[in-house]
Structure 1
Amino acid sequence: MFVAAVLLGGVAAGPALAGDDARAELGAETFAQSDLDPDNIVLDLRLEPDGTAVWSVSYRVELATDNETAAFEQLQADIADNTTTYTAAFRDRMERTARTAENATGRSMAIENLSVSTSVESLQQYGTVTYRFSWTDFAAIDGETVRAGDALGGFFLEEDSRLVISWPNGYSADTVSPTPDDRRDRTAVWEGPIEFGPDGPQVVASPASSFPTLAVGAVAVLFVMGVAAGLWWRARDGEPTGDVEAADAAPEGASDAGATADSGPDEELLSNEERVLRLLDDRDGRVKQQEVAAEFDWTDAKTSQVVKTLREDGRVEVFRLGRENVLVDPEESEL
């Protein structure tokens, strides 16, 4: 199995290589100009459907004192002024790692799009140096299944280091081994120290099943085909189809429409006075004022005001019947 020959600042190939000497191969050289060692390292790799792994390796340094802050600021300036020097050293180590992985897996690999950046987290007072790159054919592809891990056989993650592996969007993990310290949506996280063994950190992911969507679509298609077949069969035997039945029902519907039209506009479109007149017509030209109030859920004051307007316009007549007012259509009045 593949035994990694390159150390990623706190990540060693096998426990026999772990320790200060292992860290020095990349970590100490990265921070040599400022004499800074990382307090923790985060290796974050995102698997792509074609087997490429997009890596982000972050070295975080606590800036607890003014001297540490000044040293990191000097490191930032050095990286900005000599970016090629830093990326060249990192690329050399990663390419040697990829060559060894090629021999172990039989896949042709390449380190591409390498870059380095620095940042300061003012809230937590950390300085971070981050290398980003793409490692092609990092994972094996079996149909649409992505199988990652064999390129990191024998990997050892030191204390204060973290490995994060995520799989493609729309994929689900079939295997994640060993059991991660944290399992999130499409992501597994391991905290060091941990020895992954000869198979490395294993992640096998496949496209999420689309069975529910396909099943629903199939049922819908079958339903439409069934309806069409039923209509055809009825037409074949001379029975009316749905279209004919709808046509036969049209006159009745037209009659209903005519009745609706004859009944006038909707209630909501009428004025208060028009509503009273419609009610009066429905009651054969005579209705008690209290019935008007009850019908429209009006107060006595509002009802009186509407009735007064109608009476002044000559559109209704009002007379007393006992203690109640009665509204009468002038054409129906015998007064």
Structure 2
Amino acid sequence: MRSRVAAICALLVMLSVAVSGAVATSSGQGATALQAEPANEGVTMTIDLQPNGDARWEVSTEFSLDSENETKAFETLAAEFEDGNSDVGFSVDIFKRASKAASEHTGREMAIEGVARSHSVENQTGRLTLIFTWTNFATVSDDNYRVGDAFNTSSGTWLPELRADQQLVMLPPEGFAVSSAPIGFRNETLRWEGPVTFTAEDLEVTYRPADVDTQTPGPERNDFALVGLGVLALSVLALAVYMWYVRREDDPPAPTASANGGDSDLETVDTTPDDEPATEPAEPDEDVDLDLLSDEERVERLLRAEGGRMKQATIVKETGWSNAKVSQLLSAMDEDGQIEKLRIGRENLISLPEQDTDAEN
């Protein structure tokens, strides 16, 4: 029976072999995906964008350590990794080839600098971490900060996919906020979770200085002003109700029929005040400007229109968004409890939380 230590060693060998050809040079063979085969808990690539356009990368590979022997084996492998042994963990050479290809494609000089390697063991999890700085990763001007072209080569993007055990996290540069992005985000942080495929446009993100309004153009918004308007509206409504009540008290009572059942000499008067509120509220206006809705609100509106449940593929069709954007948006909404996802065969069934998500025949 193969031991757990041998399994870790075998997985690490697979990892090294797979990533050795992950990024082709611009002169030759075309770009391919990061072919890492991480053990157990997967790989996280975190891009910490810097205000000057550089990007600090942190690539972590995690391993589950369930015994003392596995922990000792991991410590041995970690020592080799920190010594720069390319047969263990992610090799920085992958990203050097990617930056060279991207530099030739964009005409912007790039380099991989400040390479460091570390490891840690915590809660029966071993982690190998590769850290480096990718210079000129983004373009910076007075009014915006753009990311995306560094993922491309003359043969296409060098990162065409993430596997199910991989994720990519992009942190904003200090002093900037997201202006446009292909997926939803939280606290200016974008997160792609595999499996997902990418085109060149799927990794393009624009930031603006944080003191600039990055929302959809429209009237300036001030929270105190909104509160004041709300108080004023309530005051006007209260005054209108009071005036109506006073008018009603001042109006003479309507004549009634005579005691003997005959009609009185006076004409019947409509006792309903002219300004009495309607007995039924007006129907809400369904003509909503979709441009004013957030992505999450559009999805919830679609679900409500379909009775609270629809397939993920239908959401892609109705919105016209890419598969990658819809997948990431729904994952974030599922985590927040805004929707529920149910896997049925090869499809996802999306429903509002109050809906029963049992599969239908």
TM-score by length of 1: 0.49
Higher normalized strand content (fraction of residues): 1
* Higher Rg: 1
TM-score by length of 2: 0.46
Higher normalized helix content (fraction of residues): 1
